[in-house]
Amino acid sequence: MQFLHTMLRVGDLQRSIDFYTRVLGMKLLRTTDRPEQKYTLAFLGFAANPEQAEIELTYNYGVERYEHGAAFGHIALGVDDARAACARIRAAGGRVTRDAGPVAGGSTVIAFVEDPDGYKIELIERDW
């Protein structure tokens, strides 16, 4: 098996594409518009499958907001420097919801940001 993508439903596709490309630095890999079925998909990532998993953004025509529920937690991204990543994200207009610092009960440095639809993204500092 191979991890392919995670799908998120979004209320404004262009706003979300802008966040994931401009603020987080992902690439827009491909889009699919299905007017008869009333939805559009956008696949984004730092690289395409099979090199890395992707984010699939789904926009259902006419739906501007979704309830997230309590089950989904967050997406995690590895970064070289969590503090610097937070600074870049803030400078690009992104929202940092937890500044970089050690995880509770440990030493791994993490931070959290939020996309325009309220999905949480954890930044985990890695020394690759």
Give the active site residues: 122
Cα distance between residue 98 and residue 110, in whole Å: 8
Cα distance between residue 119 and residue 23, in whole Å: 14
**Both tokens assigned to 32:** 């699919």
Q: φ and ψ at 116, to 5 degrees? A: -60, -20
**Both tokens assigned to 96:** 């940092």
- The residue count of the chain comes to 128
Cα distance between residue 96 and residue 115, in whole Å: 9
Asked if residue 50 has a cis previous peptide bond (ω within 30° of 0), the answer is yes
